Structure 1
Amino acid sequence: MAEYYDLLGVSRDADADTLKRAYRRLARQYHPDINKDPGAEDRFKEIGRAYEVLSDPQTRARYDQFGEAGISGAGAPDMGDMGGFADLFETFFSGFGGAAGGGGASRRRGPRQGDDLRLDLSISFNEAVFGQEKEVQIRHLETCDTCKGSGAKSGSGPTTCGTCGGQGQVRRATRTPFGSFTQVAPCPTCEGTGQVIADPCGACGGQGVQQVRKKLRITIPAGVDSGTRLRVAAEGNAGQRGGPAGDLYVYLFVQSHDKLRRDGIHIHSDVAVNYLQAILGDTIEVDTVDGAANLEIPAGTQPGTTLTLTGKGVPKLGNPVARGNHLFNVKVQVPTKLSNHERDLLEQLAGHHSAKDHPHKSGLFGGLFG
């Protein structure tokens, strides 16, 4: 199925009236009683599904955040509303009244906490090391300013649902070979609240919440890594009927560095020196997360040696005073071509070493001392 906004031909910022007009226009165009073209009926069903999702602020917010996966389980029981073992027991057994007497009232009648939201945030290597305050933009549900969350137009209010008499539940008797059972389900008219909005608020369509864009400043602590999750309290979707807002969870993804590699709180990189620096020793300038620093190359440094700058690694998350180290893997560059003068000097150097100092038979040393 195509993206829901594309199906309706509207932008992602479309308000409720724009969605409704687009749906009505397309529904008339593709209604199977009017349009006999092949595929018109399937198109009509897709348009209906898109409008069903986008016209409800809660399901629209989940769709905007997670796509089709966020609403694929919309018909499943709301496990977030089950408060402990006693409620779980009630959920499974109150619906089969019989001798049990039909069970208690639906838990959806009271205030409901809003949904938690997820935001994936990419940050640079250095931002992860030292921390950063970043501005992000989110879309979430907030309590409607016009009706203050009641869903009713000013001067009116909710009324008792006529379908369930305010109970929030409907019962249906079923006869089976094992006896008669009463199945209890949330009222389809009031969705288990026991109340309906006769005169809905024009701003939110009676939902009590509206989807808005909001800018937030997120504090990223020093030492985070890919997969670190930050919780921003009460910045998820607004609750319904006076319930608390959900939380926003920010998942961090750290970009790689072109020269540095991270291993926990330690940083690794390669450093190249020429063979004379390796033999004689030197002090060279190297790149670290703190900027340029001096690294001592001891005389006689061998290829593959690891040299360390203490305290130049990543701060420990939660304790930025404690930092790891920066470890340098030494690579010795050996020239492939020598000038005649360089070769003469090296041969003179080789002349100061006896053949017995070399661990293998050598044409060079053999020629000099043979």
Structure 2
Amino acid sequence: MADDYYQTLEINKNATDADIKKAYRRLALKFHPKSSKEAGSTERFSQLGEAYEVLSDPRKKATYDKFGLEGLKGGIPPEFGRGGAWSSKYAYHGDPEKTFKQFFGGDNPFAVDFYTNDVPLQFGGLQSVVVKTQDPPIERDLHLSLDDLFLGCTKKIKISRRVMNEGGYTSSIKDKILSIDVNPGWKEGTRIVFSKEGDQGPNSIPADIVFIVRQKSHPLFERQDDDLIYKTQISLEMALTGFSVNVPTIDGRLLNIPINDIVHPRYSKVVPGEGMPLFQDPSQRGDLIIHFDIQFPEKLSVDRKHLIKKALK
């Protein structure tokens, strides 16, 4: 092992943490046994691993800067040491490949982007660059009632996903609660994206989790864009003579709508501003549209037919 860690990494003692990482990245890739054919590359690769492990650790670096290699590996002299981590002896674990994998992440460090001075590293004379890609989105339906979409609400959804443990070599399954604030006026097909909340892996970017709004059916209303459709049955007498219809609203009111027109089979009553809230401006609303199902009598006596004919002349 070279006596000067800074010289090993080809940096000076004023190097920042970013400088140390940049130097190790460049030299470790250059002298890795899989990529270098230079004599002594294996030994140099090991030296780089030890130098980086010391200089990237604030306590080890401080001890090395003040007491040198002897103080780092032999322990701080008694007149300076007070026990604890600062006076403990340091010994490199001797596995530069472990240091390399911890730095780049994953069981296969060569399955990540490798660049030396912005130039893709070449292995065995062939250019090899593997781009770290993101997994495809995970799409799930989010079933909401018309009341939820009218009033707005908050939905809590528990997901289980694989996360990498500290060190990046193993993973475990952990639960997480995702919170969705449903805004008044959301429509069927609205997409809610949770970025990179999918399974983690050593050589991939976690997938986005996407929830897609699916509207449940409602016992009273049908939705048509921002309008609400309400259907009610009336008699032929009501259709011809006029009446009032009571419509209970989703927000708990009761509308009394007078119908003074002749209600024919294609007739509908439009009540402005009593439909769904507009997503862009919930203070504004679509319309309530009332459709009528006219119930005709199955039979009429001769006398009734005569009276109707007389009334309609």
Q: TM-score, normalised by structure 1?
A: 0.44
- Where do 1:197-346 residues align within 5 Å? 206-207=169-170, 209-238=171-200, 240=202, 246-291=207-252, 292-337=254-299
- Residue 160 of structure 2 aligns to a residue whose secondary structure is strand
Structure 1 residue 261 displacement after superposition: 2.1
- Distance between the aligned counterparts of 2:299 and 2:282, measured in 1? 48
**Contact 2:145 2:217 (C-alpha < 8 Å) held by counterparts:** yes
Query: Equivalent pairs: percent with the same residue?
Result: 23
- Alignment-derived partner of residue 167 in structure 2: 150
Question: Which of the numbers 109, 121, 126 marks the counterpart of 1:102?
Answer: 126
Amino acid at match of 1:125: L
**Contact 1:115 1:239 (C-alpha < 8 Å) held by counterparts:** no
- Distance between the aligned counterparts of 1:267 and 1:294, measured in 2? 16
Structure 1 residue 229 displacement after superposition: 0.8
Amino acid at match of 2:282: P
**Contact 2:151 2:251 (C-alpha < 8 Å) held by counterparts:** no
- Distance between the aligned counterparts of 1:318 and 1:234, measured in 2? 27
- Where do 1:1-370 residues align within 5 Å? 101-103=125-127, 106-107=130-131, 116-144=137-165, 149-151=166-168, 206-207=169-170, 209-238=171-200, 240=202, 246-291=207-252, 292-337=254-299, 347-348=306-307, 350-351=309-310, 357=313
Amino acid at match of 2:147: N
**Contact 2:271 2:289 (C-alpha < 8 Å) held by counterparts:** yes
- Residue 129 of structure 1 aligns to a residue whose secondary structure is helix
Task: State the structure with bigger RCO (CA 8 A, min sep 6), 1 or 2.
Answer: 1
- Taking structure 1 as reference, are residues 344 and 249 closer, same or farther at Cα in structure 2, changes over 3 Å only? same
**Contact 1:132 1:219 (C-alpha < 8 Å) held by counterparts:** yes
CA deviation map 1:202-221 (0-9, x unaligned): xxxx32x3221222221122
- Taking structure 1 as reference, are residues 311 and 104 closer, same or farther at Cα in structure 2, changes over 3 Å only? same
- Distance between the aligned counterparts of 2:198 and 2:258, measured in 1? 52
- Distance between the aligned counterparts of 1:346 and 1:105, measured in 2? 89
Amino acid at match of 2:231: D
**Contact 1:309 1:326 (C-alpha < 8 Å) held by counterparts:** yes
Mean Cα deviation higher: 226-235 or 300-309? 226-235
Amino acid at match of 2:293: K
Structure 1 residue 290 displacement after superposition: 3.6
- Residue 239 of structure 2 aligns to a residue whose secondary structure is helix
What RMSD over aligned residues (CA atoms) do the two structures have, in Å?
3.8
Structure 1 residue 307 displacement after superposition: 0.5
Q: TM-score, normalised by structure 2?
A: 0.51
- Distance between the aligned counterparts of 2:311 and 2:136, measured in 1? 79
CA deviation map 1:291-348 (0-9, x unaligned): 432222114232320101212222222322222112112222222356x8xx867755
**Contact 2:160 2:173 (C-alpha < 8 Å) held by counterparts:** yes
CA deviation map 1:113-167 (0-9, x unaligned): 77754332222232233332112111112343xxxx313xxxxxxxxxxxxxxxx
Structure 2 unaligned runs (5+)?
A: 1-110
- Taking structure 1 as reference, are residues 290 and 346 closer, same or farther at Cα in structure 2, changes over 3 Å only? farther
Structure 1 unaligned runs (5+)?
A: 1-77, 152-205, 358-370
- Distance between the aligned counterparts of 1:350 and 1:222, measured in 2? 51
